[in-house]
Structure 1
Amino acid sequence: MDESGAALEPADDAFQALIRAGLARALASDAFRAAPQLSAFLGFIVERAIEGRSSELKGYTIAVEAFGRPADFDPQTDPIVRVEAGRLRRTLAQYYAGEGADDPVRIAMPVGGYVPVFERTGQQPAAMPDREEVTVPAAIDGSAFEPPVAPEPPPESPPERWLSKRWPVIAGAALGIALVPLGAWYLGVPGTAPEPDVAAIAPSRAPVTVARPASPAVPSQPTIVAVTIPDLSGDPKLAALAGRFSRFLVDALARFDDLVTVKVPPMGDAAPADAAYVFEMTGQMVDGTLESFGRLRSVADGRIVWSASSTRPMSVDDADLPDIARRLAIRLAEPFGIIHADIRQNVASGPMRCIYQALDVRRTMKPEDHLAARKCIQDLIAHDPAFHPAWTQLTFLTLAEYTTGLNPQAGSPLERALATALMAVRLAPSSARAQQAMMDALFARGATDEAIRAGREALVRNPYDADIMAGVGARYIQLNRPAEGLPLVERAIELSAGRPPAYDFFALLGGRLLGAGQLSRGHGEFLGADSNPYALLGRALQAAQKGSDTDKAEALAALRQSSSLFETDPRLWLMRKGFGIEVIERILADLGIATP
């Protein structure tokens, strides 16, 4: 569109650059920072307009591609796009009345549609740093950090790398521009939740100069899993059944977009050469009974990582088929599933080594594991700043500095965690894991309502992810809403055999809060001899319930040894982990711990 908002010439590179720069400033503003869904909405419609594809900006397209709604989304029954459109118009008006008052281009979305218009204001663009050298405050780890700097849009990423096809293009262009105010915001905005004691660590606010990072020769991407089916053209019924099963399997696998990239060659074709794992399916019908076989094979060395077989009556329209396919996908791809276990036991190179290393910190919560994982993730981001799973995992690792006291760095971990979560959401607005990171970052800051909304959004985008289920359920339980949280945690436990101790701890706690003693004790039995803080706290509560003072004292002594804060101020230790006042009082009373 030109200055009048009537039309936008896609070839007008200078005007496009102004629009993208204005978009980046808007997304970095206070009005949009804590509204990831609005950021995704705005970025999506602006990019489509710039590409000359405004005719595609319908409610269904926005819901599916920008908000991550399923393909069967019905805009007539779900008003999410209309509701968010009203919010977006109000937020844009708020932004241009304040922070964006001097922007050279204003973005608006007139009532009655979703096509943006762009209006020149006559203001001069804000001065930007040199393209080869950018000045930012101290970086995520307190040292020199190499942010992406991309005044012009980068080439499109491969389609399979992202669930949302176009948003990463504008996100990649915006990152370099937005990171300067974002970096200042890391250390400059006061948090809303209690801050850790960092008196011994003086945050450095002096700016440092960093060079533009080199683009990686091959962009990072999650583990590539190919799903193959042999040529079944000789048996049309079996081919139809296998095709339907494959569609449900692939749909569920693709929801784990931070962990796997799914490729499906045509029936009868071999797996693509870049696949790390191949899931091979075959079967035959014998007297109306399906004999099916599936196995996961490692391409690098040919190992059979996992296999299963089944014999049961089944037809192409069998009502159980979708659930069977989805359960298989969960078992393979969930964060603590079969692929994770294989990568952990057979250490591989590449970006996913760092992602799974970060996930393993959730199991152990050991300082040395946290430090190594954080270093690996930071190196990965320096190599490929557009790899969204790294920003997501960095959010979780940064929050551990605050919630567990692991390897604290200069500056507020709450501000840094929120910033990295925002970056993950901007890079991958359709990613469920990015929304999970946003939930945890907001919850740690005390923004509980916003956190729960982000968590529910994550569940909409991936209803098969046990870790998201457990995370949302745990937040409800921490807020003394166990009736809402416990079913989610129990479902996560059912789906995740390799789960961290936190799952069982929150199931134990949820049962206690509901007065379901037998249920609580049952989950407590799974905590074993693990040294994870949640396992130690759970064992202490379990021992208190059984009346075993010796076991309770032993678990509490181990917890005090692992955390000096728990020894000096157990109430603050629980607050840092996000427990509400009522739940804190209940835990301390059950443990017989008196605090001022």
Structure 2
Amino acid sequence: MNAEVHDLKACEVPTAEARAELERLLSDSRFRVTERQKDILRYLAERRFNGCEEGVKAYSLAVDVLGRPSGFDASIDPIVRIEISRLRSALDAYYQAFGAADNVTIHIPKGMYIALFPGTLIPHGPEDEIHTGSEPAVESRPPVLMPEAPVQPVRPRNGIRLAAVAAGLVVAIGAVAGVKLFVQRPAMTKKPTVYVMMTAAEAGMQREASQTRDTLMTALTQFTTLTIAKPGYSHVRSGARSGRSYEIDMKYYADADDRSIWWQIADSETGDLLKSGLEKVDVSGKSPASVREEMAAGLAQHFAATRGVINSIEIHDSPDDALGNACILRAEYALDEGGADRVTRSRDCLEQSLAAAPGDPDARALLSRVLLAGKGASLDPAVRSRAMELAKSAVSSAPMSDRAQVALMAAQFSAGRTEAAVQAGNRAVELNPNNGDAAAKLALVLYLSGYKDAGVAMARDAGRFVETAPRDAMLVRALDAYRTGRYSEASLLAEQINCTDFMVATLRAAALGQLSSPEAHERLSEIRSKDPAFERTFHDRVASWRLQPDIAAELEAGLIKAGAQVDPGAVSSITTP
């Protein structure tokens, strides 16, 4: 048993509370995992409740839960590592977004398959379960002693909500006495303001640290998710601003072989430490400028991306019915993860946000994309027209916004204007070269438009500075593997995409169908349960995706092998560039 597990066991809650948290989490629709991952979590938890203190083996999970044959070999079949990795990511995303109820969390330590139930949130950190590189862990690096910030427990803001409830009761009592009762409107949230500070661990490295900070500031301002404060104003609190503010405090370290930045994020108003971490770059064979750019790219993604640290906190701390920035962030999550109900809620929220703030270019851009995400919406001329109008107005209001350009790319592609779509996508990547999500979305447009090699190359490049490749980048690689007959690889990649939309579900079922896998029927049943008419409308869906005829025909063949009864009919003709 390693030291981490020993320490976590020391702060675990009683078994009764652990069981209650397991059942609560598995029944919460906001916990975005597959049924297979739920089965894995329950299996690990029940084994723990039954006295298994050393964890289970990959073989046991593969055979007992995933239905693999008795000859399963974890060294050649990584399914267990992949599913556990996705489960860890889902646990982190859930607790960071929605908090820990009753101060109980579920944690699966790296290197072991065991469920622990600590009383504080312990993030899993970067996943290395399927990493094949030889770079040692940060903890094994002896030359520099890094200050370690204590792990902060998740403090649900129930106190604030309870205070609001109490205030409501007082108003209600006043209303009974004849005082006018006002209806509370949803909160209008704004982009958070960020103050960036960096110092060098050694005086001789201060110039290098300042140059790295300047490069990071440039990278951060290219994202449209945050407001970056001018250097030198780090102690100005957020009283004059309508949004929340954060301070990013960094310390720069230099060794012979690498450069490291230890960072922590704090709430400017309360001073609470919210998150800390370490970014490291190997300097071997690299120029000082390229090292700075690589360091800045990784940190900018971590801080400012939609799924980055600060925006995850923003979503967690915003009311469920909040308008404005919180609504925009949740819409991006809904688009990436799929689900008709979530997309519909996002559309309604964005409509309300625009009614309250008609000039918001981010709300316009996201509403444009959400409208096109509705089932069959891309085939509806009225929907396409409004989506195009919203995207163009977003670009007109914010011409330097990669969000606006991505929306315009999606609208142009939906309208069949391939060259205009690629142009808008290239503009988005030029405006923010560190936004892997924008690059991944352009990669998908390129691939679906027939520029397959360019799409695959960009998809691979989109995941350079992130721990998990963007959804669209994974989809491009999966589609290409399927198109070229590498069905096992296509199935593996498709299963790694944390998304429930129709294209991903179809690819999963078709790949398994081509492999004659018994699991193909299970995947097919999942599609039918969500969309009973999918076999009848398959060709319309293909037309809305603007899939190339060769890929569409291959997908149809895989679905038929899986047991689908796709209505006969020619796939809509799509012009190849």
TM-score, length-scaled by structure 1: 0.56
Instruction: Check 1:443–1:430 CA distance in 2 against 1; reply closer, same or farther (3 A cut).
Output: same
Give 1:544 deviation, angstroms: 2.4
Q: Tell me what 1:94 maps to.
A: none
Aligned: 1:391 with 2:364: yes
Alignment check: 8 A CA contact 1:377 1:394 kept: yes
Q: 1:264 aligns with which of 230, 233, 236?
A: 230
User: In the alignment, which residue of structure 2 is the partner of 1:118?
Assistant: none
Sort the Cα spacing of 1:393 and 1:323 in 2 relative to 1 into closer, same or farther, 3 A. same
**1:463-482 to 2 correspondence within 5 Å?**
463-482=433-452
Give how far 1:434 is off.
0.9
Does residue 545 of structure 2 align to residue 574 of structure 1? no
Q: 1:564 to 1:411 in 2, by over 3 A?
A: farther
Preserved CA contact (<8 Å) 1:337 1:496: no
Which region of structure 1 is more displaced relative to structure 2, 580-589 or 381-390?
Answer: 580-589
Pair 1:237-2:217 in alignment? no
User: Helix, strand or coil: the match of 1:569?
Assistant: helix
Deviations 1:211-254 (A, max 9, x none): xxxxxxx9985322221235x7x966332112111111111111
Check whether the contact 2:343–2:374 (CA below 8 A) recurs between aligned residues. Answer: no
Task: Confirm or deny: 8 A CA contact 2:487 2:511 kept in the other structure.
Answer: no
Distance 2:543 2:438 in 1: 22
Contact 1:224/1:262 (8 A) holds in 2: yes
Pairing partner for 2:302 from 331, 350, 357: 331
Residues 377-425 of structure 1, C-alpha deviation per residue, up to 9 Å, x if partnerless?
Answer: 12221222221111100111111135568xx9x9711001001001101
Mapping of residues 52-63 of structure 1, within 5 Å: none
Q: Which amino acid aligns with 2:227?
A: T
Q: C-alpha displacement at 1:441, in angstroms?
A: 0.2
Any stretches of 5+ residues in structure 1 without a counterpart?
1-217
Alignment correspondent of 1:175 = none
**Cα distance, 1:502 vs. partner?**
4.4
**Aligned twin of 1:297:** 266
- 1:451 Cα deviation after fit: 0.9
5 Å-filtered alignment, 1:300-315, equals: 301-309=270-278
Q: Which residue of 1 aligns with 2:195?
A: 226
Q: Matched residue pairs, number?
A: 370
- Whether the 8 Å CA contact 2:191–2:226 is kept in 1: the answer is yes
Give the aligned residue type for 1:345.
H
Kept in 1: contact 2:509–2:520 (CA 8 A): yes
RMSD (Å), alpha carbons: 3.3
Counterpart for residue 215 of structure 2: 248
Q: Judging changes above 3 Å, is the alpha-carbon distance between structure 1 residues 430 and 219 closer, same or farther for their aligned structure 2 residues?
A: farther
Equivalent in 494, 512, 532 of residue 501 of structure 2: 532
Contact conserved, 1:504 with 1:524, CA < 8 A, in 2?
yes
2:529 partner letter: Q
Alpha-carbon distance in structure 2 between the residues aligned to 1:389 and 1:367: 21
Query: Deviations along 1:20-47, whole A, 9 cap, x unmatched?
Result: xxxxxxxxxxxxxxxxxxxxxxxxxxxx
1:114-133 deviation line (CA, Å, top 9, x unaligned):
xxxxxxxxxxxxxxxxxxxx
Are residue 432 (structure 1) and residue 381 (structure 2) matched?
no
Identity of aligned residues (%): 19
Letter in 1 for 2:226: V
Alignment of 1:59-138 (within 5 A): none
CA contact (8 A) 2:371 2:377 kept: no
For residue 529 of structure 2, what is the aligned residue in structure 1?
Answer: 561
Distance 2:210 2:398 in 1: 29
Normalising by structure 2, what TM-score? 0.58
1:294 to 1:394, Cα distance in 2 relative to 1, 3 A: same
Post-superposition offset of 1:312: 7.9
Structure 1 residues 398 and 292, CA, compared in 2 at 3 Å: closer, same or farther? Answer: closer
Partner of 1:585: 553
Distance 1:328 1:419 in 2: 34
Partner of residue 443 from structure 1, selected from 410, 413, 433 = 413
* Residue 313 of structure 2: aligned partner: 342
Q: Is the 8 A contact 1:501 1:535 kept in 2?
A: no
Equivalent residue number for residue 16 of structure 1: none
Superposition deviation, residue 478 in structure 1: 1.6
Aligned residue identity for 1:366: G
Residues in 2 aligned to 1:322 and 1:500: alpha-carbon distance in whole angstroms: 20
Residues in 1 aligned to 2:417 and 2:258: alpha-carbon distance in whole angstroms: 53
Q: 1:271 to 1:497 in 2, by over 3 A?
A: farther
Task: Evaluate the alpha carbon distance shift between residue 316 and residue 261 of structure 1 in structure 2; reply closer, same or farther with a 3 A threshold.
Answer: farther
Match of 1:421 in 2: 391
Quickly say closer, same or farther: Cα 1:525–1:426, change in 2 above 3 A: same
* CA separation of 1:404 and 1:551: change in aligned 2, threshold 3 A: farther
Q: What is the SS of the residue equivalent to 1:386? A: coil
- 2:423 and 2:353 mapped to 1: Cα distance? 30
Letter in 1 for 2:558: D
Aligned equivalents of 1:547 and 1:463: distance in 2?
Answer: 41
Give the SS at the match of 1:454: helix
Mind listing any 5+ residue stretches in structure 2 that lack a counterpart?
1-186, 561-565, 570-577
RCO (CA 8 Å, sep 6+): is it higher in 1 or 2?
A: 1
Distance 1:313 1:470, change over 3 A: closer
Check whether the contact 1:252–1:329 (CA below 8 A) recurs between aligned residues. yes
8 A contact 1:334–1:496 mirrored in 2: no
* Contact 1:228-1:271 at 8 Å conserved across structures: no
Residues 398 and 229 (structure 1), Cα distance of their counterparts in 2 relative to 1, 3 Å cut = same
Aligned equivalents of 2:327, 2:196: Cα separation in 1: 24
**Residue 595 of structure 1 pairs with residue 568 of structure 2:** yes
